[in-house]
Amino acid sequence: MEVVEEKALSGSGKEDLAKRILRARRRLSSLRQALRPQREVISRLARGESKIVRALMLPYFRDVQDALTRVDERLQGCNDRMMVAFDVYTNRSAHEANEGIKVLTALTAVTIPPVVVGSWYGMNFRHMPELDHPHGYLTLMGITLAMMLGMGLWLKFKRWF
Q: What percent of the chain stands above pLDDT 70?
A: 97
Helical ranges in the chain per DSSP H: 2-10, 14-46, 58-121, 136-157
pLDDT of residue 135: 87
Four-CA torsion 147, 152, 155, 161, nearest 10 degrees: 170
For 65, other C-beta atoms within 10 Å of its C-beta total 19
Sequence-distant (6+) residues with CB within 8 A of 29 are 79
pLDDT in tens, 115-137: 988 888 888 777 777 778 888 88
DSSP 8-state symbol, 132: S
Using an 8 Å Cβ cutoff, are 114 and 149 in contact? no
pLDDT in tens, 43-60: 988 888 888 888 888 899
| Count, residues in the chain | 161
Q: Which phi and psi angles does 127 have, rounded to 5°?
A: -110, 90
pLDDT in tens, 62-109: 999 999 999 999 999 999 999 998 898 889 889 989 989 988 998 898
What is the rounded distance in angstroms from the CA atom of residue 145 to the CA atom of residue 110? Answer: 10
Domains of the chain: total: 1
Domain containing residue 37: 2-157
